Chain A
């Protein structure tokens, strides 16, 4: 789809590392370029034309995100520096002040480090207990298993919507329903879902959501923190400084602004915010459902071919998102990645920041090919062709 919009693809690059970050279409590049060359002023500051323009565009981007997520209010959208920053702010700014010793948070062993380590630290600091929801035989979260994990002490469920390794899509709507019936809040790590599937925070009834702009065609340095207004309003800012305070005279006389500005201390990455505006409009012009379907088709196509190659071990045949996790038997994942790189194919090797996953799939390193709208059947054919000949891999990997 839309390959001409991605200049980087002119060089026959086969980019299959979209879980790490995505390529940028021309409209995104232009949005940054325009900011840097035509109106590179700060937002919320000077009383002059280009600053007013930047301010308008910056706040316009917030509206674009709000519509994209179907949030109730624009104040529920906070710009951060990334999904990682968003999750850390949620944990340290909200849960650190509301949880107490013995309270339980439920995660899984498939979570990304950014949805594990902040909870681990809170466990050390407050004595909360981090528990893992048991996974089914497909390594997925089921409502039955979730029910079994919930105790009277469970206060938070914090899960990736789509995991960045197995690519399984968690039943968030059922999860939030069950959680809310038990007075449990749900934090959703949307880093791998918001770029790929329709997210309606109202319909899914999500309490907090975190994701990164760079994984959805925009540039790096920007994340989004969504929270239901009343929760977000009780989230203590991690950073204090310019832009977010109303006035201050003394230690006892510090007055902070309202949401969302209160949570955006200092100068944000303005060009990144404008690039996200362009990226979301671009995604909307294609239709997020069309992107989802395209990835599903490609994934199915790839799995059908790969599963007939005897030396390929697939770890997530059954999941429908565009992530393919595999190993070539007897060959170290990084050697496979180096081999494919010789043919201009980018995949990722390693543990993908999910270091607890080894307990689940019994290996701590895998190859990951992750898809997006611009990938094609021909690219999959090339990948399959290169992986089908093990002798060739052994010969060419060094």
Chain B
């Protein structure tokens, strides 16, 4: 992916993030997880609705930088409708990518916009932020449903 494309993907997902909205009154179908990390001030609440092993919906709110907001938006776009297994596979590949390990480019879609984020020290944590939360929710789901 060339730099211009990466920029465009990140900026459009930052300016109009998918799944960013205020918390509705009824969130009984959702599991909420707060994602933040020590190295920056990003702070996201992520809501996930999983049913029968499939991610039905994800939305989020909170305060975060351009990288973590866009990364969350892309995550939502890519993972709604996927099974929890597919999602975990996606997250593992994403983590390999930002940690400069081998990964499957084919499945990451727009997240490839962060393929060189490892060069920017701190910012890789921003890109990773939403996945920490989502992974936690999925793992908890698997534990209670298996």
> Which of B59-67, B100-108, B133-141 participates in binding chain A?
B59-67
Cβ of A332 within 8 Å of any chain B Cβ, yes or no, is yes
Give the contacting residue for A332; candidates B10, B11, B64, B120; CB below 8 A.
B64
Q: B70: which A residues are within 8 A, CB to CB?
A: 398
Quick one: closest A residue to B6, CB to CB?
Answer: A398
B35 CB to closest chain A CB (Å) equals: 15
Q: A334-B65, A365-B63 are in contact. List 5 more A-B contacts (CB 8 A).
A: A332-B66, A334-B40, A397-B66, A398-B7, A398-B67
A349–B42 Cα distance when bound, in Å, is 11
Quick one: closest B residue to A351, CB to CB?
Answer: B41
Question: Which of A333, A335, A338, A398 has the most chain B CB atoms inside 10 A of its CB?
Answer: A398
Give the contacting residue for A334; candidates B10, B14, B41, B120; CB below 8 A.
B41
B2 CB to closest chain A CB (Å) equals: 15
Q: A394-B11, A398-B7, A398-B10 are in contact. Are A338 and B41 (CB under 8 A)?
A: no
A124 CB to closest chain B CB (Å) equals: 24
Point out residues on B near A: beta carbons under 8 Å.
7, 10-11, 14, 40-42, 63-67, 69-70, 120, 123
B50 CB to closest chain A CB (Å) equals: 30
Interface residues of A in 346-398 (CB under 8 A from B): 349-351, 364-365, 394, 397-398
Leading 7 A-B pairs by shortest Cβ distance: A350-B41, A334-B65, A332-B65, A335-B65, A335-B66, A398-B10, A398-B66
A361 CB to closest chain B CB (Å) equals: 15
Q: A332: which B residues are within 8 A, CB to CB?
A: 63-66, 69
Question: Which of B63, B65, B69 has the most chain A CB atoms inside 10 A of its CB?
Answer: B65
Write the A310-348 contact mask toward B (1 if CB under 8 angstroms, else 0). 000000000000000000000011110010000000000
Quick one: closest B residue to A350, CB to CB?
Answer: B41
Does A365 lie within 8 Å of B66, measured CB to CB? no
Q: A335: which B residues are within 8 A, CB to CB?
A: 65-66
A99–B93 Cα distance when bound, in Å, is 57
Q: A365: which B residues are within 8 A, CB to CB?
A: 41, 63
Q: A350: which B residues are within 8 A, CB to CB?
A: 40-41
B128 CB to closest chain A CB (Å) equals: 15
A365–B63 Cα distance when bound, in Å, is 9
Does B41 lie within 8 Å of A349, measured CB to CB? yes
A334–B10 Cα distance when bound, in Å, is 16
B133 CB to closest chain A CB (Å) equals: 18
Q: A334: which B residues are within 8 A, CB to CB?
A: 40-42, 65
